[in-house]
Structure 1
């Protein structure tokens, strides 16, 4: 009897879970793979919607839950959270003895997982390495450091592969696979706008057109987050449609953003609707019927071009990443934001460009490529004990 390959994924937030859901589902369904998930970070916080519920509802085998998030609204909270995460993570991995561990991106669990696995001689596959964001955010350093600890790389673009090579990573460890989040988007069933509004308890608000706002803290402006997001909210007051607002991530300053959202939704209930999190079917369909996405979420850069949706990126966050043809970059300035809203709604040439759904990040078949590699890669000393090429 052939031994099943044991693969464990570590997920810290709804964002990374949704990005890799199609990979997790495929691994879970594969009879040759024994797949489990470790849940940690904001997933387990009621203040951020306890998004672990979606993993539980998807019925994945959960290897453990690590309650490490220090919800302090201060920058020190992130590093303390990492320190709390590592010992529990190491103990779970010691018990589970996985062949490969999966982790995505540039958040706390990315660095803690890749470093822990490197010290424990466990192969770790890191997703979305080599990406470049020129906003000075600590996430850039975390992403690069995670890549240096990782044994396998699944970057999205050839440009990202070149970055990893410049970091001294060996080429045979790097597999350009695109972004599997787009596989998920293409598979989500369509709901009508009426169905979506009903599911969001917004069918009685007489909404004909709407936008979606997702704005996360700017790492260099954590003490001004409430003031900054109010610029976007004030600009949206001049927009002729409704606006659905999603909670920010757990970075320092997020509490100030949430307070601003709550203030505006209480003051302008006919204009704004606030939610912590939506299940993926309602979330994707909310975007499908929106006029535009606004804020600074990576969804605007990476995902929503595949839906034919315009994105207005406000401020420095996400600057430097390769966008599709759907993105308009603006400063955190009310006049610029208003002009961008006018453009995405009324500029016929731009709307025609967005409607082509050009997305540089995937062809919709990333998951199959990833699964094939994870099943067939040889796990040996050559994989585990890395060298630097320079």
Structure 2
């Protein structure tokens, strides 16, 4: 390392922070890097538990908090405000690298600021597909970013298909696997004591809006709530993210208040959520936790609707349309669902791999001017034509 590098990491949600945490801790303790954490998005909303305090609790030396939304803002408003706030911050501290994660508008804002200011920008977990507007954002972030830290070889192949330079795509796995395979997870008894959960057996309900299906959202969440109530099972319910439509979901969740079979939380510490998931009978909804983290523990997933379309699938993930009879039927046979343990997102050494890559001087020579790499069509034919 020829000089100390200044890195800004942007976090906008409880979920991305949980995944970024192993990388953040690795950077904070390394004298070769000066870490700056830009905290915004859902972290800054009391409605979702004001989780910026969780970021601050880790004691990072440089934390900048920025409120990028109010209750009436749409996603494009949030994007614009985040670009403005982050742009001012980047101009002030002049980082060597901006690091973003995933497919939220905050990540798109970070990549936009990096691209327009000629600041090297790294994107974590690009190259994945989901079938909703999140996928559009994820691929847009890819095209604006200079370096790509992907979860597996399949994601890497997609980025190569998108015209990315071969030497800019690095397979490091998913950083949350670092947490899942570490000894940092609390015991389930500790989790239940902290969050006052008295259930011996339970499912987890995590359902988010699909913005392209907004007109059908009220019906969808009504079906979900009707069926979890009718199932007679106990549930831990986690608030949805703050996409357009979240208030509709929260209105339906009011029907669960006061019911002793439901415990509802705006947010939960990432490690505590993972322990809760590890011990759950199943998870139901449309959260990525059901198709990424749950299979690693062998926990069955009832994946509802289209939000996770085209994601990598494991045997323990059962896709179910959001219709009363179909949801009721699958809930009636939870004990019969596959519980295969599968991990398709790395071996728990993402932070070590990431650190090794950015410690090489060649990484910092990646050009700020991107170009599209044309490749022969035959290399990427998918076989999706008529059979």
- Tell me the TM-score normalized by structure 2: 0.91
1:151 is matched with 146
Residues 28 and 34 in structure 1, CA contact (< 8 A), matched pair in contact too: yes
Tell me, which stretches of 5 or more residues in structure 1 are unaligned? none
1:133 is matched with 130
Matched, 1:255 2:247: yes
The worse-fitting range, judged by mean Cα deviation, of 374-383 and 175-184 is 374-383
d(CA) in 2 for partners of 1:62, 1:260: 40
d(CA) in 1 for partners of 2:170, 2:363: 16
Paired residue total: 374
1:227 is matched with 219
1:363-382 maps to which residues of 2 (within 5 A)?
363-378=347-362, 382=366
Q: Secondary structure at the match of 2:307?
A: coil
| Superimposed CA distance per residue, residues 217-275 of structure 1 (whole angstroms, 9 cap, x where no aligned partner) | 01122244333112122221233431010000000010110111122223xx2121111
1:39-188 maps to which residues of 2 (within 5 A)?
39-72=39-72, 77-134=74-131, 137-188=132-183
- How far off is 1:71 after superposition? 2.2
- How far off is 1:59 after superposition? 1.2
Tell me, which stretches of 5 or more residues in structure 2 are unaligned? 375-387
d(CA) in 2 for partners of 1:275, 1:90: 33
| Superimposed CA distance per residue, residues 348-368 of structure 1 (whole angstroms, 9 cap, x where no aligned partner) | xx23xx2xx211111111221
1:239 is matched with 231
d(CA) in 2 for partners of 1:191, 1:84: 37
Residues 265 and 271 in structure 1, CA contact (< 8 A), matched pair in contact too: no
Residues 70 and 80 in structure 1, CA contact (< 8 A), matched pair in contact too: no
Residues 71 and 250 in structure 1, CA contact (< 8 A), matched pair in contact too: no
- How far off is 1:154 after superposition? 1.0
- How far off is 1:178 after superposition? 1.3
2:385 is matched with none
| Superimposed CA distance per residue, residues 123-148 of structure 1 (whole angstroms, 9 cap, x where no aligned partner) | 000011111122xx222111111111
Q: Secondary structure at the match of 1:83?
A: helix
Residues 168 and 366 in structure 2, CA contact (< 8 A), matched pair in contact too: no
Residues 209 and 290 in structure 1, CA contact (< 8 A), matched pair in contact too: yes
1:318 is matched with 308
d(CA) in 2 for partners of 1:344, 1:359: 21
Residues 22 and 183 in structure 1, CA contact (< 8 A), matched pair in contact too: yes
Residues 297 and 342 in structure 2, CA contact (< 8 A), matched pair in contact too: no
Name which of 262, 265, 268 aligns with 1:272. Answer: 262
| Superimposed CA distance per residue, residues 185-240 of structure 1 (whole angstroms, 9 cap, x where no aligned partner) | 1225454544332221233xxx2210000000011222443331121222212334
Residues 133 and 320 in structure 1, CA contact (< 8 A), matched pair in contact too: yes
Residues 123 and 379 in structure 1, CA contact (< 8 A), matched pair in contact too: no
